[in-house]
Amino acid sequence: MTDGADVVRADASASAGAPEQPRSAIVTWIVTICAGLFFFSFTALGCWQLWRLQWKLDLISRVEQRVHTAAVMPPAQAAWPAVSAASDEYRHVRLQGCFLFRQTVYVKAATELGGGFWMLVPLQQEDGSVVLVNRGFVKQKKDADVRTPQSGSVRYTVTGLLRMSEPGGGFLRNNDPRHGNWFSRDIGAIAQAQQISRVAPFFVDADAAAQQPDATYRALLAGEDPAPAGGLTVISFHNNHLVYALTWYALALMVAGGYYLVFRERCRQLRSSVAKQDGTQGECQHDRQGRKS
């Protein structure tokens, strides 16, 4: 009676264990697909970061070359639509014209000299077009007064770096043209607020001591105190793409390693399950033979 009960229990155990194999196979396939998706996604992101790294290195090389070349004339008005950051930003340019001091704009700035403002003054060229020039950094805003040369009375030669417009705002605040509060050098908005026409879509960061007036008016300009500090353009680019690439590749390796451990454990469980089933079947056959005999 006991032998028969043991056989029934063994058969029941074998039949109860049978549905587990299809279910385990489904789980294994799901884990495999997810691991594959994560692995290839992380690998692709790592490759993309390597591409970005090469792009950034090329950009830095181009910018360094532009900055240290001799100053050239800025793009003419006919070429303004084609001006872009990729092809023109940080180009060393040379301007000649008259500052429109009465339309000076001050933009909030944070520099190595502390907090203050960028002093943006429109410069009208001989052809009538206007380029906003960032004359440099000042601690406080300065209203135009009798010591400032009248607009168009002094011809300046300015060298500096061509920069692209900064629309929107900065310092987590939006520009407020109505009240004259500027947090970014948004050329379009500044031109509209100051009612300046024929304005270039870029501005120029003036070099240090590169705003030379005609000799006749040097004495007149001596009253400008304090003079804006030019040449503070920060030419640096965040280049963490190699770190990002290594991070993505490390995640891909972690996924591969984790999947290997799970797969190895699953294989061990399958071998153990097969061994148990073989042992159970052997015992059942032995019990059945014993019953027949």
Instruction: Let me know if residue 182 belongs to a domain.
Output: yes
Asked if 228 and 117 count as a contact pair (C-beta separation under 8 A), the reply is: no
Instruction: Give me the pLDDT at residue 65, please.
Output: 86
pLDDT at residue 253 is higher than 80: yes
Instruction: Give me the pLDDT at residue 77, please.
Output: 94
Tokens 């011809």 map to which residue? 155
Q: In 214-240, which residue ranges form alpha helices assigned H by DSSP?
A: 218-221
Which band of pLDDT confidence, cut at 50, 70 and 90, is reported for residue 14? very low
| Average pLDDT value for residue range 265-281 | 73
Instruction: Let me know if residue 95 belongs to a domain.
Output: yes
259 token code pair: 């999947």
Q: How far apart are CA 47 and CA 56, in angstroms?
A: 14
Write the CA distances from 269 to 16, 211, 265, 272, 273, integer angstroms: 17, 80, 6, 5, 6
Instruction: Let me know if residue 166 belongs to a domain.
Output: yes
Asked if 213 and 223 count as a contact pair (C-beta separation under 8 A), the reply is: no
Phi, psi at residue 25, to the nearest 5°?
-65, -40
* Among 80-84, 151-155, 206-210, 251-255, the least confident range: 151-155
Report the candidate in 280, 143, 201 with the shortest Cα–Cα distance to residue 288.
280
171 conformational bin, left if phi > 0, alpha if psi -120 to 50, beta if neither: left
98 token code pair: 């008259």
Query: How many domains, in total, are found in the chain?
Result: 1
Asked if 172 and 158 count as a contact pair (C-beta separation under 8 A), the reply is: no
More confident call, 217 vs 39: 39
Instruction: Let me know if residue 286 belongs to a domain.
Output: no
Please give the mean pLDDT across all residues of the chain: 80
Cβ neighbour number for residue 23 with a 10 Å cutoff: 9
Tens-place pLDDT, residues 217-247 = 444 445 454 578 888 887 777 889 999 999 9
Q: How far apart are CA 114 and CA 10, in angstroms?
A: 83
Instruction: Let me know if residue 158 belongs to a domain.
Output: yes
Instruction: Let me know if residue 160 belongs to a domain.
Output: yes
Instruction: Give me the pLDDT at residue 60, please.
Output: 85
Instruction: Let me know if residue 164 belongs to a domain.
Output: yes
Instruction: Give me the pLDDT at residue 126, please.
Output: 92
Which band of pLDDT confidence, cut at 50, 70 and 90, is reported for residue 25? confident
Instruction: Give me the pLDDT at residue 2, please.
Output: 47
SS3 content of the chain, % helix, strand, coil (to 5): 50, 25, 25
Which band of pLDDT confidence, cut at 50, 70 and 90, is reported for residue 182? very high
- What is the extent of the structural domain holding 186? 67-221
Q: How far apart are CA 51 and CA 46, in angstroms?
A: 9
Asked if 211 and 156 count as a contact pair (C-beta separation under 8 A), the reply is: yes
More confident call, 217 vs 200: 200
Q: Report yes or no on whether pTM surpasses 0.85.
A: no
Instruction: Give me the pLDDT at residue 20, please.
Output: 53
The residues near 174 (Cβ < 8 Å, ≥ 6 apart) are 168, 183
Instruction: Let me know if residue 97 belongs to a domain.
Output: yes
